[in-house]
A and B are shown apart, each in its own frame.
Chain A
Amino acid sequence: MSKVVKAKYTAEAVAGFTHRTAMEEAARCLLCHDAPCSQGCPAGTDPAKFIRSIRFRNVKGAAETIRENNILGGSCARVCPYDRLCEEACSRCGIDKPIQIGKLQRYAIEQEKVFKMKILKAPAKKKAAKVACVGAGPASLAAAAELAKAGYRVTIFEREEKAGGVLTYGIVPSRLPQAVVDHDIAQVKGLGVKFEFGKEVKAADLEEYDAVFVGTGLWGANLPKIEGIELAGVYSAVDFLKAARTQKNAFDPGKKVLVVGGGDVAVDCAVTAKLLGAEDVKIVYRRTLEEAPGNMTEFQYALTLGIGITTGMAPAAIKGADKVEAVEFKGFRDEAAQLVLSADTIVFATGQTAEDQTAVAPVKVADKGLIKAPKGKAGGKFFAAGDIVNGGKTVVEAVAAGKEAADAMIAYLEKKGVK
C-alpha cells in the first residue's frame, strides 16, 4: 500500500528553500549566455538574472529583479506552470533536470519579506490623469502597479471584500497561501494604488476617469444542461473554491466528492475537498490525461493525497431526491462505457464563463462574452486584459497582459496629453 500524504487545508504543501538549499540549487544553474529560461517567462520575470544574483550572494538584488518585473512574483512562484515555461527552457534539462526556478523565486520573495524590503516606489509627483481598474485580479493588479510606477493615480474597484481574484478566491491555499497573495497585494498598495471593495462598478462610475482598465476575469459558472443540475450538492468550481476559501475549515465539502474537469482548477477542487475532510474524492475527466490542460505535477500531488483520477467519462445525469446521491457517466468517445458513482457533491471544473461586460463598460464583446482587446486596447479610453480577454489562462500570462495593457494606457494618456 502506498503512503498517502496527510496535509492541512491552509498549510503550504511544499517546503521552501533555506539559504543553504537555495545556494545548492543556484549552484546547479549553468548561468547561460542569453538564457533560455528568461526567454521562457511570459511576464519577463528574468529568472537567469535573479538566479545569478542568488548565486553571487545578492538575494536582495534577486528580489528586486523579480518584483520589478513581476508584481505578483510571490504568487507566480507558487502557481506558475514552470514545467512548460522557464523550466522547460532550462539548458540543464540537457544534462539531468531543470533548475527549480519557481522554488528559487519563492525563496527570493520570502527574503524580501524577511528583510522588509520596499522595492517598488511610485514617483512623489503624481500625474494629473486618473485611472480606474475594474477587478482586483492578477491582470488588474499588474496593470495598476505599472501605472502607479509611472506616476498615475490609480483606483481599483473590486466587488468582493478582498483583492486577488482567483489568487484569493480560487486556488487552494495549500498551493498558494493567502499570506503570499496578501504580501504581493501589499506591494501594489505600497505604490499608492487605492482599493474600493464591495463595489459593483457601473459604466457611470467610470466617467470621471481618463483611462479605464477592465480585468474582471471569468466568474460565471459553466454548468452542463443535464438532469439534476439544480440539485443541492452541485457546485461550479468557482463557487466551491470560494466557499472553501472564505469559510476555511467550517466548509463541509461532503463525504464523497466528484470533480469533473481536467485542468489545474479541477485538481484544486479535488485537493480542497480532500484537505477539508472528504473521504473519497475522484476527478473524472472526459478526455485522456495526455490531453488534460492541467499541470502534471498537480495531478501527481492529487494522487499522493489519495485522490483518484478517471478519464474518458463525461457526466450524463445527476440523480437524487433533493440533493445529489449519484452521478451517471457515459463514455466520451467509448460508446460502450458506462459508470455510476454515488456522491454527496459534484463540482464542475469545466471552465468559467464571462459575465455581461457591457454592463461594466462600453466594450466590444466577442464569442462567449469575452472582451475584444488586441494588445490590451478595448477602444477609446478602455483597455482590458487577463482571463476576460484570453478566455482563461495562467496567472503569469494575466500579469504579462496586464503589463502590456498598462503600456498601451500610458501611450494613450501621453498622446491625449493628460499630464
Chain B
Amino acid sequence: MAIKKDLSVNYLGVKCQNPFFLSSSPVGGNYDMVRKCYETGWAGCFFKTVGIFVADECSPRFDQTNKEGLPWLGFKNMEQISDKPTEQNFEYIYRLVRDYPEHVTVATIMGSSEEEWKQLAKMCDEAGVPLIEGNFSCPQMTSHDMGSDVGTNNELVEKYARAVTSVTDIPFIAKMTPNCKNMEEHARAAIKGGAAAVSAINTIKSITNLDFENMTAMPVVNGKSSISGYSGAAVKPIALRFCTQVQQDEEIHKLVKEKGFDFGYGHEMSGIGGIETWRDAAEFLAVGCRTVQVTTAIMQYGYRIVEDMISGLSHFMDERGFDNLDQFIGCALPNIIPAEELNRDFRLLPKFDDKKCVGCGRCYVSCYDAAHQAIDWNEKKRRPELNDNCVGCHLCLNVCPVQGCITPGEIQWKEGREPVDVKFKKEYI
C-alpha cells in the first residue's frame, strides 16, 4: 500500500490538504486547468493574477537556461498578469470556490491605484475566496504603477495593502519581489498596511541568453527583447535566502501578532522559487514556510509532479517520525546563523577511498587550480594523495563524480584552539 501521511496544514486560518499550491501564473489561468490540478492532488491554487489592466502579451515570451545538456536550469518569462477580462477571471474563481470547497482557491490581484485595488478586493469578496494575494512583484509589467516597482516602494506597498484590507476581512497575502536590497522592510510595510502575511519570491529580473542571430536577448520579439523574470531550479537558493530572512525577522512576527493575524504560528510565509520535488518543498518548510507554490516545474513537467511531492514528503515524515508538518516547519531556522558566529577552530579534512576512486584526477585539477595545491597526483596509480596544505575546504568532495569516494575524514584543530564536539555531515549523495 502506498504511504498515507497527514500532510495537512492550517494556513492563515484555512485548512489545506497539503502545503502544495500553484503559484499565480499561466499554470492556473482558467477553470479547467485549476480543476485538473485539484484532481491531481494540489491543495490549492493562487489563480493567475487578475487586474483591471488586461495584459497585451508579446510572442514568443519564454526562454530557458541550461548547463551541460541539462535543460530548464532556469526559466525566463515575459508574461504579465492575466490577458482575460476581469469579470471572466472572477467567474472562474467563483465557480472554483463553489465546486471545490475542499481546495483553496486564492485570488491573486494587482491594481494600479488605490481605487483599483479596492475594486478588485471587493470582487474577491463577492467571489467568496478564502484568501487574497496581492501581486507587488511582477518585474515585467508594461506600467510602472504595477509590479515590482510598487513592491520596492514601502509607501505604496503599505497604502495598497491598506486599500485592500479596508474593504474586505479576507486575509491578504502580499507577494514580494526579490529585486530588492532586503525583503524584510517591504514585508513589514505590507503587514503594517494590513496584510496577514507575505509570499516570496516572485521572479528575478534577468537576461538569460543573448541571441547572436539578432544581437539581442532571448526571447526575440521582432528583433528585440526585454529584461524579465527568471525562475526555476536556478533561483531556489535565492528564494530560500529571502524566506529564511523574512522568517528570522522578529519584528515581522511581532507586527503580525499586533495586527491580530497570529493563528498560533507567528508570521505565515508561503515559499516560492524553483521547487520541483518534495525535497525542495521540504527545504522551504524547514525555513518556516507553511505552504509552497510552484509554477516553473509545472510548465516543464505538468501537474502530475505533485504526486511525488505528496508521496515523497510522506516517506520523509515517516522516516523522521513526524506525525504532522507542524513538527517540522521552521526547524532549520535556529541553525542558520550569521557568518561571524560559526565555529572556525577546526579543519575537516577529506578522506579518499582508493577503491571507489576511478582515477579521473578532477580533485587534483580543482585543488591545484582553484584551492590550495593540497592534492598530489600519483601518476602511476592514478590516485590523489592529500598533503599538508589541505585547509578542509571540500572543493575536492564537490567535484568528485563518484558517490562516496571523497568524504569528510579527520578533524584537525587549529593551533591553540579548544577542541569541542563537532557536528558534521557524513552522508553525501
Binding site for B on A (CB under 8 A): 20-21, 23-27, 30-34, 36, 55, 91-95
Is B69 a contact partner of A32 (Cβ separation < 8 A)? Answer: no
Interface: B36 (CB within 8 A): no
| Residue in contact with B359 in the complex, picked from A21, A55, A94, CB distance below 8 Å | A94
Q: Which residues of A contact B402 (CB under 8 A)?
A: 94-95
Is B401 a contact partner of A30 (Cβ separation < 8 A)? Answer: yes
Nearest residue in A to B379 (C-beta to C-beta)? A34
Q: Which residues of B contact A24 (CB under 8 A)?
A: 69
Nearest residue in A to B356 (C-beta to C-beta)? A94
Is B362 a contact partner of A32 (Cβ separation < 8 A)? Answer: yes
| Residue in contact with A32 in the complex, picked from B70, B360, B379, CB distance below 8 Å | B360
Is B362 a contact partner of A30 (Cβ separation < 8 A)? Answer: yes
Interface: B365 (CB within 8 A): yes
Minimum CB–CB distance from A57 to chain B (whole Å) comes to 10
Minimum CB–CB distance from A49 to chain B (whole Å) comes to 14
Q: Which residues of A contact B357 (CB under 8 A)?
A: 94
CA distance A21 to B68 in the complex (A): 10
Q: Which residues of A contact B360 (CB under 8 A)?
A: 30-33, 91
Q: Which residues of A contact B364 (CB under 8 A)?
A: 33
Is B68 a contact partner of A55 (Cβ separation < 8 A)? Answer: yes
Q: Which residues of A contact B68 (CB under 8 A)?
A: 23, 26-27, 55
A27-B70 contact, Cβ under 8 Å, with A33-B364, A33-B377, A95-B402:
yes
Annotate B237-279 by CB proximity to A: 1 below 8 A, 0 otherwise.
0000000000000000000000000000000000000000000
Interface: B361 (CB within 8 A): yes
A23-B358 contact, Cβ under 8 Å, with A33-B377, A94-B402, A95-B401:
no
Q: Lowest 7 CB-CB distances: which A-B pairs, in order?
A: A33-B361, A94-B358, A27-B68, A23-B69, A24-B69, A30-B360, A32-B360
Could you list 17 further interchain pairs (A-B, Cβ under 8 angstroms) beyond the known A36-B359, A94-B359?
A20-B69, A21-B69, A23-B68, A24-B69, A25-B69, A27-B69, A31-B360, A32-B361, A32-B362, A33-B377, A34-B361, A34-B377, A55-B68, A93-B358, A94-B357, A95-B401, A95-B402
Minimum CB–CB distance from A200 to chain B (whole Å) comes to 51
CA distance A250 to B58 in the complex (A): 57
Is A30 a contact partner of B358 (Cβ separation < 8 A)? Answer: yes
| Residue in contact with B358 in the complex, picked from A21, A26, A34, A95, CB distance below 8 Å | A95
Q: Which residues of A contact B69 (CB under 8 A)?
A: 20-21, 23-27
Q: Which residues of B contact A91 (CB under 8 A)?
A: 358-360
17 sample A-B contacts, Cβ–Cβ < 8 Å, listed by A number: A23-B69, A24-B69, A25-B69, A26-B68, A30-B358, A30-B362, A32-B361, A33-B365, A33-B377, A34-B377, A36-B382, A91-B358, A91-B360, A92-B358, A94-B357, A94-B359, A95-B402
Cβ < 8 Å to A, chain B residues 373-388: 377, 379, 382
CA distance A26 to B357 in the complex (A): 20
Minimum CB–CB distance from B211 to chain A (whole Å) comes to 15
CA distance A26 to B360 in the complex (A): 15
Identify which of B69, B361, B377, B379 gathers the most chain A CB atoms within 10 Å of its CB.
Answer: B69
Nearest residue in A to B401 (C-beta to C-beta)? A30
Q: Which residues of A contact B379 (CB under 8 A)?
A: 34
CA distance A26 to B362 in the complex (A): 15
Minimum CB–CB distance from A48 to chain B (whole Å) comes to 11
Is B362 a contact partner of A31 (Cβ separation < 8 A)? Answer: yes
Minimum CB–CB distance from B145 to chain A (whole Å) comes to 42
CA distance A27 to B68 in the complex (A): 5
Is B362 a contact partner of A33 (Cβ separation < 8 A)? Answer: yes
Q: Which residues of A contact B377 (CB under 8 A)?
A: 33-34
Minimum CB–CB distance from B276 to chain A (whole Å) comes to 19
Q: Which residues of A contact B70 (CB under 8 A)?
A: 27
CA distance A27 to B401 in the complex (A): 11
CA distance A26 to B364 in the complex (A): 21
Annotate B345-371 by CB proximity to A: 1 below 8 A, 0 otherwise.
000000000000111111011000000
Minimum CB–CB distance from A102 to chain B (whole Å) comes to 18
CA distance A149 to B382 in the complex (A): 36
Identify which of A21, A32, A33, A94 gathers the most chain B CB atoms within 10 Å of its CB.
Answer: A33
Minimum CB–CB distance from B26 to chain A (whole Å) comes to 25
CA distance A55 to B68 in the complex (A): 7
Nearest residue in B to A94 (C-beta to C-beta)? B358
Nearest residue in A to B368 (C-beta to C-beta)? A33
Q: Which residues of B contact A20 (CB under 8 A)?
A: 69
Nearest residue in A to B357 (C-beta to C-beta)? A94
CA distance A23 to B68 in the complex (A): 6
Nearest residue in A to B361 (C-beta to C-beta)? A33
CA distance A34 to B378 in the complex (A): 11
CA distance A94 to B383 in the complex (A): 13
Q: Which residues of B contact A30 (CB under 8 A)?
A: 358, 360, 362, 401
CA distance A32 to B360 in the complex (A): 4
Annotate B61-93 by CB proximity to A: 1 below 8 A, 0 otherwise.
000000011100000000000000000000000
CA distance A32 to B358 in the complex (A): 10
CA distance A31 to B365 in the complex (A): 10
Q: Which residues of B contact A94 (CB under 8 A)?
A: 357-359, 402
Minimum CB–CB distance from B353 to chain A (whole Å) comes to 12
Annotate B164-177 by CB proximity to A: 1 below 8 A, 0 otherwise.
00000000000000
